[in-house]
């Protein structure tokens, strides 16, 4: 394949430019749509994060409300019995604990001196194996006294001295001093032993009615116990309404920072994608305590957010760019092709016209002017000779015994002989003279300007002599001659027709005189 020429390269330039511009526009749109999709994904992710945080906060708030309702029960009654408490909690929970809550309990604060009476009372009221543990009776205790729902697992916590556990005690004292709720750090529930499932306890202190409780000091003096709840974090998350957000993974850390050793909950422990596309750290705030929530997207999130418009823009943009480039190429080359074709057609028409004109004026065998063209030139020469009062000569040249050549050697040899004879005659003439073929073996010669009849005689003699020399046509050596009639303007004739006629007559006289000779018109 030949290398593309400059015009082909020129023709490619505009389609390439159009294609590249269209591709650039496609790229810009694609980039723009990707950015919009990224922003949409970020918005969706942020929404999922907010949703996750607020669902947990709502659940925690509902726990707090339950505690405040329980405190209301104690504040409204002189004495709340175990059955009262259990009925109340049962009503509060709707008969079970659907909210991820494991238990609600009442824990009094007992000075050492009240411990034996407390234990005796509990046993007398039906908790036969009730005992405070651990506890050596040397200091105040906070034993779990009422517990609901009273499942065997929960009941195992009865008598458990919460003051002996530093984490629980810390939260209890916080609740006591603040008057509000307080939450422990991560603890393990007794009923989960030996499995250490992350759990928490939330406390609300109870104060003796009628005593001031508006300062930490007055609250320390007035406190007589706590209502509290305990929940496992996994149960809390599982109990939240709704399906959660697809493609969103959640980790909860006990504390303000996402430290591996403080991880309490991981919604997707198996699918730990090392490089999540989106991540966020949020906090759940408690009085004097914080949880860190690490929210991250998983590959399922990006799949759910697949950027279809960007793919459509890219695909359609590339197709349109190719089509535009092709269309432009067709326009450009179509114009160039039409132009080249028009040029070729014009050239062809000119050549054909030229050929037709040539054919109309020339003899096809010898390419000599024919009778029509010769007539034009004769008229022009005569007009000029009349103007300039000069002389012109007209000769009729007829080959002698040409027919026998045709007959003996064939028509093709006859043709070649005619062409060769033409050449010889042409060599005897000047550029300004005209040699024409007017019949089979008949030629006419116009000498438009002669000074005397001798000029014409010399030319005619040269022609006669050259024709008389042998011709070699292929294998054939041919000897012929020519008879020439000469007519001089204006001596012998004054117009075209007369000149032709008298030259013709003179030629026949040369024939009659024995051929291979020349005759002037006035020699007849």
Ligand X SMILES: Nc1nc2c(ncn2[C@@H]2O[C@H](COP(=O)(O)OP(=O)(O)OP(=O)(O)O)[C@@H](O)[C@H]2O)c(=O)[nH]1
Site for ligand X, rule CB under 6 A: 365, 398-404, 406, 411, 414-415, 418, 440-441, 511
CB of 520 to ligand X, least distance (A): 20
CB of 348 to ligand X, least distance (A): 30
Task: Indicate the residue among 68 and 401 with the shorter CB distance to ligand X.
Answer: 401
Task: Indicate the residue among 267 and 422 with the shorter CB distance to ligand X.
Answer: 422
CA–CA dist 10, 177 (Å, integer): 89
CA–CA dist 220, 257 (Å, integer): 32
Task: Indicate the residue among 116 and 404 with the shorter CB distance to ligand X.
Answer: 404
CB of 408 to ligand X, least distance (A): 11
CB of 436 to ligand X, least distance (A): 14
DSSP letter string over 43-94?
Answer: HHHHHHHHHHHHHHHHHHHHHHHHHHHHHHHHHH-S---HHHHHHHHHHHHT
Query: Which residues contact residue 208 at a Cβ distance below 8 angstroms, ignoring those fewer than 6 apart?
Result: 222, 223, 224
Task: Indicate the residue among 399 and 467 with the shorter CB distance to ligand X.
Answer: 399
CA–CA dist 347, 424 (Å, integer): 35
Q: What 8-state DSSP symbol labels residue 258? A: -
CB of 440 to ligand X, least distance (A): 2
Task: Indicate the residue among 404 and 494 with the shorter CB distance to ligand X.
Answer: 404
CB of 469 to ligand X, least distance (A): 18
Looking only at the bridges linking them, the beta strands covering 434-437 and 391-400 are: unpaired
- Rounded to whole angstroms, what are the CA distances from 144 to 134, 157, 228, 325, 398? 12, 7, 10, 84, 154
Task: Indicate the residue among 344 and 412 with the shorter CB distance to ligand X.
Answer: 412
- Reduced to 3 states (helix: H, G, I; strand: E, B; else coil), residue 170 is helix
CB of 2 to ligand X, least distance (A): 46
Q: Cα(first)–Cα(last) distance of the chain, in Å?
A: 74
Query: Which residues contact residue 297 at a Cβ distance below 8 angstroms, ignoring those fewer than 6 apart?
Result: 41, 45, 247, 248, 249, 276, 277, 278, 279
Task: Indicate the residue among 421 and 488 with the shorter CB distance to ligand X.
Answer: 421
CB of 459 to ligand X, least distance (A): 21
| Bridge partners of residue 17, in order along the sequence | none
Task: Indicate the residue among 201 and 418 with the shorter CB distance to ligand X.
Answer: 418
């Amino acid at each position: 394949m030949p290398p593309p020429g400059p015009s082909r390269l020129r023709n490619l330039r505009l389609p390439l430019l159009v294609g590249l511009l269209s591709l650039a526009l496609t790229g810009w749109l694609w980039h723009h749509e990707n950015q919009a999709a990224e922003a949409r994904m970020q918005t969706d992710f942020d929404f999922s994060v907010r949703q996750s945080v607020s669902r947990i906060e709502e659940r925690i708030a509902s726990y707090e409300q339950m505690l405040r309702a329980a405190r209301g029960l104690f504040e409204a009654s002189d004495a709340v019995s175990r059955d009262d408490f259990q009925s109340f909690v049962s009503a509060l929970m709707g008969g079970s604990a659907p909210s991820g809550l494991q238990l609600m309990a009442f824990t009094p604060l007992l000075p050492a001196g009240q411990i034996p009476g407390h234990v005796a009372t509990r046993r007398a009221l039906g908790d036969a194996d009730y005992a405070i543990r651990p506890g050596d009776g040397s200091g105040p205790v906070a034993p779990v006294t009422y517990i609901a729902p009273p499942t065997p697992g929960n009941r195992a916590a009865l008598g458990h001295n919460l003051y002996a556990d530093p984490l629980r005690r810390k939260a209890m004292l916080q609740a006591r001093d603040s008057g509000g709720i307080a939450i422990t750090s991560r603890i393990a529930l007794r009923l989960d032993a030996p499995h250490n499932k992350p759990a928490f306890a939330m406390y609300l202190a109870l104060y003796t009615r009628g005593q001031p409780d508006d300062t930490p000091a007055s609250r320390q003096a007035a406190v007589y116990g706590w209502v509290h709840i305990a929940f496992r974090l996994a149960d809390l998350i599982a109990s939240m309404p709704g399906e959660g957000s697809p493609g969103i993974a959640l980790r909860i850390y006990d504390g303000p920072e996402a430290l591996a050793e403080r991880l309490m909950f991981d919604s997707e422990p198996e699918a730990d994608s090392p490089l999540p596309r989106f991540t966020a750290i949020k906090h759940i705030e408690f009085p004097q305590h914080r949880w860190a929530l690490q929210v991250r997207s998983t590959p399922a999130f990006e799949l759910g957010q697949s950027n279809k418009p960007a793919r459509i823009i890219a695909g359609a943009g590339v197709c349109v760019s190719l089509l535009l480039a092709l269309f432009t190429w067709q326009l450009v080359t179509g114009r160039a092709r039409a132009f080249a074709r028009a040029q070729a057609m014009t050239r062809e028409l000119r050549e054909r016209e030229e050929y037709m004109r040539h054919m109309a004026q020339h003899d096809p065998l010898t390419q000599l002017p024919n009778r029509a063209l010769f007539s034009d030139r004769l008229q022009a020469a005569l007009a000029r000779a009349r103007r300039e009062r000069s002389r012109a000569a007209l000769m009729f040249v007829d080959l002698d015994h040409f027919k026998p050549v045709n007959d003996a050697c064939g028509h093709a040899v006859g043709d070649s002989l005619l062409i060769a004879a033409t050449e010889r005659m042409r060599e005897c003439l000047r550029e300004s003279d005209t040699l024409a073929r007017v019949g089979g073996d008949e030629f006419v010669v116009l000498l438009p300007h002669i000074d005397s009849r001798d000029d014409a005689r010399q030319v005619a003699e040269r022609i006669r002599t050259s024709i008389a020399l042998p011709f070699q046509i292929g294998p054939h050596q041919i000897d012929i001659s020519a008879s020439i009639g000469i007519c001089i303007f204006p001596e012998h004739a004054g117009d075209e027709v007369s000149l032709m006629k008298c030259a013709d007559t003179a030629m026949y006289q040369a024939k009659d005189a024995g051929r291979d000779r020349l005759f002037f018109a006035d020699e007849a």
